[in-house]
């Protein structure tokens, strides 16, 4: 169950009890509610009041907040913990990670090289221990999934196999708001093949005056120009807007045009339900440090559809761990690829980096994406209602799709400008410093708020909306 507001309030913080910043005095006689007090509809009572948020948290049985470590809030804000909305950039640390890392260090000390076989979680097949949980997370068969490398490295490995430009079919299609790393990766792949990246990489843009791509516009482009497209590589959930693209519809349209279709799931894995095998996706890659809470630079994941993993003729970049385990230590010069996604794995797994991933994936397996998605829809819907009230007379607009089916656990808020709100970064800084609300900024004008269903609370959402109501002046 989520923490109560009184558990989060720091009685030693400057401006606490007796100052109107969360103590019994100056808070309308409501000792125990959070601080600071917000104006208007974001007070204690009513539809948007603090009591309603606390009541929703009291009824929650899915949130696992107590199993995570939250950063402390600035001392002056009146809370002991931040309201954390940057999990779409870096997830919080599960408390169990420290013990998992210590166990691997103990096995290293105790067994040295024999830990490959004798550790509690033997190192030689360590990556295989993560396979089933990773597969369940993305809707794949275990043999289609492997945990390895980092996201962009995996994208390059996938493109080494699946981007095979020939004749007029050379283009790579991405979204205009693709994450920078994806842009760099596909442009470098074009150069690697001797192509002009400005001609080869097609960036699909939303319609004029809109922020999000429409599925019908992607499908229409592929119907018209797909004969020139070798690879479609889009983000499952867009990092900037939070839009959840229609993966099965786009994949089907790409295949109908003869294209290979891959997906960057950095903001989708652990965020939205996925069914990569059933959707017939060719390949996908994701990171583990955002919604999967496996730590900064955590080991990533990769999916390759079964029809490809059983094709020994596919070109791959290979290494020691790409060959079958039975003959790996015979040190043969010739590779014997395995009929699984492991055939794309190059190096032995980094155990100390994989331990947090194992912890995280187990938590997702225990809770289940269905329950997390249900809670996500409730949290994000509640935050949307609060933000709509804030934006009603302030220079703010939500750019994330209003349809819950078209978004994940993120609402992106554009700061339009005017009265103390010309700079999104300045607004976000005040949210953190004054109210203990930690959000993510994408310059020049977008604040991203991610109510992560594994640990965020309804009271966090209330704190964010109340803070914005104080820090962004009405127009």
Q: How far apart are CA 346 and CA 160, in angstroms?
A: 13
CA distances in angstroms from 379 to 96, 285, 304, 329, 410, listed in the order given: 25, 27, 32, 51, 10
Q: How far is CA 173 from the centre of its chain?
A: 22
Residue 463 token pair: 């704190």
Q: Is 196 annotated as a binding residue?
A: no
84 annotated among ligand-binding-site residues: no
Residue 172 to residues 96, 182, 183, 262, 315: CA-CA distances in angstroms? Answer: 41, 11, 10, 11, 19
Candidates 148, 206, 139; CA nearest to 178 is 206
Query: CB–CB of 453/63 below 8 Å?
Result: yes
Q: DSSP 3-state assignment of 222?
A: helix
Return the HEC string of the chain: CCCCHHHHECCCCCCCCCCCCCCCCCCCCCCCCCCCCCCHHHCCCCCCCHHHHHHHHHCCCCCCHHHEECCECCHHHCECECEECCCCCCCCEECHHHHHHHHHHHHHHHHHHHHHHHCCCCCCCHHHHCHHHHHHHHCCCHHHEEECCCHHHHHHHHHHHHCCCECCECEEEEECCCCHHHHHHHHHHHHHCCCCHHHHEEEECCCCCCCCCCHHHHHHHHHHHHHHEEEEEEECECCCCCEECCHHHHHHHHHHCCCEEEEECCCCCCCCCCCCCCCCCCEEEECCCCCCCCCCCCCCEEEECHHHHCCCCCCCCCCHHHECHHHHHHCCCCCCECCCHHHHCCCCCCHHHHHHHHHHHHHHHHHCHHHHHHHHHHHHHHHHHHHHHHHCCCCEEECCCCCHHHECCCEEEEECCCCCCCCHHHHHHHHHHHHCEECEEECCCEEEECCCCCCCCHHHHHHHHHHHHHHCCCC
The answer to whether 231 is a known ligand-binding residue is no
- Around Cβ 365, how many Cβ atoms within 10 Å? 14
Q: Is 108 annotated among the ligand-binding residues?
A: no
| 263 known member of a binding site | no
Q: Is 154 annotated as a binding residue?
A: no
Known binding-site residues for pyridoxal 5'-phosphate equal 151-152, 264, 267, 289, 320, 348
Known binding-site residues equal 151-152, 264, 267, 289, 320, 348
């Amino acid at each position: 169950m989520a923490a109560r507001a009184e558990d989060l309030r720091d009685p030693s913080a400057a401006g606490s009890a007796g100052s109107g910043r969360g103590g019994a005095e100056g808070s309308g006689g409501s000792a125990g509610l959070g601080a600071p007090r917000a104006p208007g509809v974001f007070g204690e009572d009513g539809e948007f009041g603090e009591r309603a948020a606390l009541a929703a948290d009291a009824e929650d049985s899915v949130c696992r907040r107590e199993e995570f470590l939250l950063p402390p809030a600035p001392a002056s804000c009146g809370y002991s913990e931040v309201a954390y909305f940057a999990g779409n950039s870096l997830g919080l640390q599960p408390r169990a990670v420290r013990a998992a890392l210590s166990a691997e260090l103990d096995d290293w000390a105790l067994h040295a090289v024999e830990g490959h076989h004798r550790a509690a979680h033997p190192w030689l097949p360590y990556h295989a221990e993560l396979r089933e949980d990773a597969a369940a997370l993305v809707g794949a068969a275990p043999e289609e999934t492997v945990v390895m490398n980092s996201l962009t490295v995996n994208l390059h490995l996938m493109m080494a196999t699946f981007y095979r430009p020939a004749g007029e079919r050379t283009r790579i299609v991405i979204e205009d708001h693709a994450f920078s790393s994806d842009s760099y990766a596909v442009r470098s792949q074009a150069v690697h093949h001797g192509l002009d990246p400005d001609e080869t990489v097609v960036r699909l843009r939303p319609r004029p005056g809109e922020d999000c791509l429409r599925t019908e516009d992607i499908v229409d482009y592929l119907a018209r120009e797909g004969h020139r497209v070798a690879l479609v590589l889009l983000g499952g959930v867009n990092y900037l807007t939070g839009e959840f693209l229609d993966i099965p519809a786009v994949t089907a349209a790409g295949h109908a045009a003869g294209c290979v279709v891959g997906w960057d799931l950095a903001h989708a894995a652990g965020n939205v339900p996925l069914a990569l095998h059933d959707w017939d996706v060719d390949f996908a890659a994701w990171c583990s440090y955002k919604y999967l809470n496996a730590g900064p630079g955590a080991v990533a994941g990769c999916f390759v559809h079964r029809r490809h993993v059983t094709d020994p003729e596919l070109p791959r970049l290979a290494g020691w761990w790409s060959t079958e385990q039975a003959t790996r230590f015979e040190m043969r010069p010739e590779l014997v690829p395995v009929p699984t996604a492991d055939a794309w794995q190059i190096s032995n797994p980094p155990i100390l980096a994989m331990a947090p991933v194992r912890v995280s994936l187990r938590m997702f397996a225990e809770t289940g994406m269905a329950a997390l998605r249900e809670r996500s829809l409730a949290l994000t819907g509640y935050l949307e209602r609060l933000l709509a009230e804030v934006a009603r007379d302030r220079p703010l607009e939500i750019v994330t799709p209003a349809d819950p089916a078209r978004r994940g656990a993120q609402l992106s808020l554009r700061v339009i400008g005017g009265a103390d709100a010309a700079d999104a970064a300045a607004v976000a800084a005040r949210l953190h410093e004054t109210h203990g609300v930690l959000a993510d900024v994408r310059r020049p004008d977008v604040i991203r708020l991610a109510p992560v269903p594994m640990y965020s609370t309804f009271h966090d959402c209330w704190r964010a909306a109340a803070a914005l109501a104080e820090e962004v002046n009405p127009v």
